[in-house]
């Protein structure tokens, strides 16, 4: 059953009264405490926190829309043959653009609160599918650049590179969609107290946390760090260190930093919520605020992707980089 809670500014907030706080080993999580915290949260959603969330995601939407629209236009307006590089970049833009285009729902929820229903489950699933599609595509781009630098002659002779890139992108989307089906129960209406938030006392199951941390964060992070470090090491081995080479090293390093800064806090928050879900039942606990801020920070990565990887790939394929006296590749397609 839905109930209407009237906030201090006369906004009617719809919520479910179907949740019983789970029994825990600590006295913090009780029915009366939960009712108090839920009412506190609803007031916050209608006033301070809602306004802050709405302002943060509005600024992200405006900036992300402009950046990704420009990137999309560059791909559509560009003349000439499409390469495997363009396939990866286009897939990255698709993932980031899809995340951006559905942010207005989150903005509306921050200011006014969406009714908790099946739409919320769809929006949450779509948000995380696009976020992890961006992570996995970024990982694929790192491997792509590493192979081009580490094995230049073989990379030039490989056939069907474009078809391989398309296959990799399709596998990424297929894998994430199939995983989201398994995660669907975690974001059903009965498990939500806000459209984009699970109940504070309810942590994700252990198998879900392990899957997210291993395949969604740790594996991509290790691959990106390895490939990027090998790229930098290979470039520094050359006798001639040009300004273009130094710029490439700077871009590669910046991409690692951006990935770590954007995604590490969010995945740390997932672990904190899993190990301290009882504590999150208390609204005074800062962990809930940290989770919300880290999730916004992870979403900001969609503004950096198109810019950083465009310049990175442009460096690789429009400049002649010398590695051990061998010209890696020269491609004027970007």
CATH 1.20.1070.10 fits 2-323, yes or no: yes
pLDDT digits (tens, 9 = 90+) for 146-193: 888 888 777 666 767 888 899 999 999 999 999 998 887 777 777 787
Which has more pLDDT, 192 or 287? 192
pTM higher than 0.85: no
Q: Which helix (H) or strand (E) holds 19?
A: none
Write out pLDDT tens, residues 31-57: 444 444 444 555 455 567 778 889 999
What pLDDT score was predicted for residue 41? 52
Q: What is the 3-state secondary structure (H, E, C) of 154-189?
A: HHHHCCCHHHHHHHHHHHHHHHHHHHHHHHHHHHCH
Of the listed ranges 97-106, 151-160, 228-237, 305-314, the one predicted with least confidence:
305-314
- Give the separation between CA 281 and CA 275, rounded to whole angstroms: 13
State the Cα–Cα distance between residues 127 and 96, nearest whole angstrom.
10
Domain ranges of the chain: 2-323
Q: What is the DSSP letter of 107?
A: H
- Cα–Cα distance between 324 and 208 in angstroms, integer? 45
- Which of 178 and 235 is assigned the larger pLDDT? 178
């Amino acid at each position: 059953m839905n109930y209407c809670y009237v906030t201090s500014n006369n906004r009617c907030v719809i919520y479910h009264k179907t949740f019983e706080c789970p029994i825990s080993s600590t006295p913090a999580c009780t029915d009366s405490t939960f009712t108090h915290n839920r009412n506190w949260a609803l007031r916050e959603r209608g006033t301070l926190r809602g306004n802050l969330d709405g302002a943060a995601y509005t600024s992200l939407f405006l900036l992300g829309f402009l950046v990704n629209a420009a990137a999309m236009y560059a791909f559509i307006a560009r003349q000439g043959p499409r390469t495997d590089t363009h396939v990866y970049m286009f897939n990255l833009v698709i993932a980031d653009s899809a995340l951006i285009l559905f942010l207005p729902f989150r903005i509306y929820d921050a200011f006014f609160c969406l009714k908790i229903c099946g739409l919320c489950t769809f929006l949450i699933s779509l948000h995380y599918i696009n976020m992890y599609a961006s992570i996995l595509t970024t990982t694929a781009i790192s491997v792509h650049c590493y192979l081009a630098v580490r094995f230049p002659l073989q990379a030039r002779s490989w056939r069907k590179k474009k078809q391989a890139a398309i296959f990799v992108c399709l596998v990424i989307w297929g894998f994430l969609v199939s995983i989201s089906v398994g995660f669907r129960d975690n974001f059903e209406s009965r498990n939500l107290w806000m459209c984009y938030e699970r109940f504070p006392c309810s942590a994700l199951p252990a198998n879900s946390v392990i899957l997210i941390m291993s395949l969604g964060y740790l594996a991509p992070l290790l691959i990106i760090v390895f490939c990027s470090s090998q790229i930098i090491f290979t470039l520094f081995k050359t006798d001639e260190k040009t300004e273009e080479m130094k710029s490439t090293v700077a871009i590669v390093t910046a991409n690692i930093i951006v990935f770590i800064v954007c995604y590490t806090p969010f995945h740390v928050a997932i672990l904190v919520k899993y190990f301290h879900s009882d504590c999150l039942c208390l609204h005074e606990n800062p962990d809930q605020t940290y989770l919300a801020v880290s999730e916004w920070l992870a979403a900001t990565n969609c503004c950096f992707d198109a810019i950083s990887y465009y310049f990175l790939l442009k460096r690789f394929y429009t400049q002649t980089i010398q590695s051990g006296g061998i010209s890696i590749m020269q491609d004027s397609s970007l």
